[in-house]
Amino acid sequence: MRFGTATSVDGVREQHFTLGEIPGVLWTPEAAVGTRPLILMGHGGGRHKKAPEILALAYPLVAAYGFAVVAVDVPGHGDRPTDENYDRIATENQARVAAGEELAPLMAAFQALVARRTVPEWQTVLDAVQRLDHVGTGPVGYWGVSLGCGLGVPFVAAESRVRAAVLGLGGALAAGEPAGRITVPVRFLLQWDDERVPRDQGLALFDALASAEKTLHANPGKHGEVPAHELGSTLQFFARHLG
């Protein structure tokens, strides 16, 4: 794990790193000492480790709650090289949707393919970050919607260190099977008028989660229109389960 220069803003220390070929960012409280809860955040499709929705959660989690937050680029995203195989599939999928095929099953197959790489990658990220003195082996949470849900569901299912997760904007086609192996508390975000994930698919993914404690939050609006008040609600969810 090689670290770049750290910068600090409003008590939040931001440190870029690379772990093997994976570029990432770690946010911790300035002058943090000792073990603390850690949230791994998975970004959306076509976005990256410092997307606005990641920063909007990372900063208050660190500044107000003293958590550590880590995000890495998914293969083919952010500071990672383009992946010829993924690009080819994406181009083919665009053509198939243009020819009348449904988007959801194609997206589901693609996310399952990418998850085969990201699940082990994210596990090595947890290993490395939890070895740092100012993070340590505290409770771990996961946050990811859209692509971050398609990749996050198999990750949370596979990774026993994760004790609570915020997921959503994803469907059962992509993640229904691994969802049945998730038993930790889950907050699930669904957009009632999602133009990318059919409503029934989102409800079916929530239904498939094996967690005894899970809450669906559904709001009107399209895929990218999760209302701002869910931000505070997510902070409180993590504080309640990991704080």
Contact (CB, 8 A) for 28 and 62? yes
Interface with a copy of itself (CB under 8 A), residue from 219, 223, 231, 243 = 219
Spatial CA neighbour of 226 closest among 197, 206, 205:
197
- 3 contributes a contact to a copy of itself by CB under 8 A: no
Compute the least distance from the CB of residue 20 to a copy of itself, in Å: 39
CA distance 56 to 64: 12
- 243 contributes a contact to a copy of itself by CB under 8 A: no
- 131 contributes a contact to a copy of itself by CB under 8 A: no
What lies within 8 Å, CB to CB, of 163 at 6+ separation is 139, 140, 141, 184, 185, 241, 242
CA distance 179 to 207: 9
Compute the least distance from the CB of residue 144 to a copy of itself, in Å: 20
Q: Which residue number, 83 or 207, has a Cβ lying nearer to a copy of itself?
A: 207
Compute the least distance from the CB of residue 187 to a copy of itself, in Å: 10
Give the CB-side neighbour count of residue 64, counting CA atoms within 13 A: 11
Compute the least distance from the CB of residue 235 to a copy of itself, in Å: 12
Pairing of strands 68-72, 22-29: antiparallel
- 192 contributes a contact to a copy of itself by CB under 8 A: yes
With left for phi above 0 and alpha for psi between -120 and 50, is residue 166 left, alpha or beta? beta
- 233 contributes a contact to a copy of itself by CB under 8 A: yes
Q: Position 119: which residue type?
A: V
28-36, 40-48, 166-174, 224-232 -> range binding a copy of itself (CB under 8 A): 224-232
- 216 contributes a contact to a copy of itself by CB under 8 A: yes
What lies within 8 Å, CB to CB, of 128 at 6+ separation is 1, 19
- 195 contributes a contact to a copy of itself by CB under 8 A: no
Compute the least distance from the CB of residue 200 to a copy of itself, in Å: 10
C-alpha 52: how far from chain center: 13
Q: Position 196: which residue type?
A: R
Interface with a copy of itself (CB under 8 A), residue from 207, 231, 239, 243 = 207
Structure tokens at 37: 């809860």
Compute the least distance from the CB of residue 34 to a copy of itself, in Å: 28
Structure tokens at 200: 């029934």
15-23, 36-44, 138-146, 218-226 -> range binding a copy of itself (CB under 8 A): 218-226
Size of the site for a copy of itself (CB under 8 A): 21
Q: What angle do CA 224, 71, 134 make, to 5 degrees?
A: 140
* Residues binding a copy of itself (CB under 8 A): 190, 192, 203, 206-207, 211-220, 227, 229, 232-233, 236, 240
